[in-house]
Amino acid sequence: MQITTKITNLDKIQIGLRTFAQALPGVLRKHLSAALGRALKRSIPYRGGTSYDVPERGYVRTGLLGKSGRIEQRGMSYTILVDPVDKYGRSYGPLVVGYADGSGQARVHYGYWTTMRSAVELELAPLAVQVENDLRAGAEAVGL
């Protein structure tokens, strides 16, 4: 017994795959950028000036931590940078929100400020589902 099948409209399938592949970086970039922005806001809930959504702790707030937080993109790589400097020229971001590996947060800030590592992990957790939904919708849009 022999089964034969014929593929028709191969050119449409190829165009659909190409269109879908070209959309992938944009979908991933959109979701990743938004998730990191939420993580930055979760770790440093800055409201402008010297105001944060973190209880006062008896030290003078300058707003430099909130103003220094930003996301940089290089190609498909993203980096969250937090680099405030006190009046003596010392960087203190890691003392408040920790290093990338989650270490470094000063004891006085523990339990009040979410470490950047924890914030990123919390925001990236649901990302796979969001990206999958967008990719599914994109595949359906191009007929895949």
The CA distances from residue 115 to 57, 105, 107, in Å, are 17, 7, 12
How do the domains of the chain map onto residue ranges?
Answer: 10-141
pTM for the predicted model, two decimal places? 0.75
Largest CA distance in the chain: 84
Q: Tell me which DSSP letter residue 74 carries.
A: E
Q: Are 80 and 39 in contact (CB under 8 A)?
A: yes
- The model's pLDDT over 28-81, given as tens digits with 9 standing for 90+, comes to 788 888 999 999 999 999 999 999 999 888 888 999 999 999 999 888 788 999
**CA–CA separation, 116 vs 51, rounded Å?**
19
- The model's pLDDT over 66-120, given as tens digits with 9 standing for 90+, comes to 999 999 988 878 899 999 999 999 999 999 999 999 999 999 999 999 999 999 9
Q: Are 39 and 116 in contact (CB under 8 A)?
A: yes
Q: Which residues contact 24 (CB under 8 A, 6 or more apart)?
A: 135
- At residue 141's C-alpha, the angle toward residues 136 and 144, to 5°, is 65
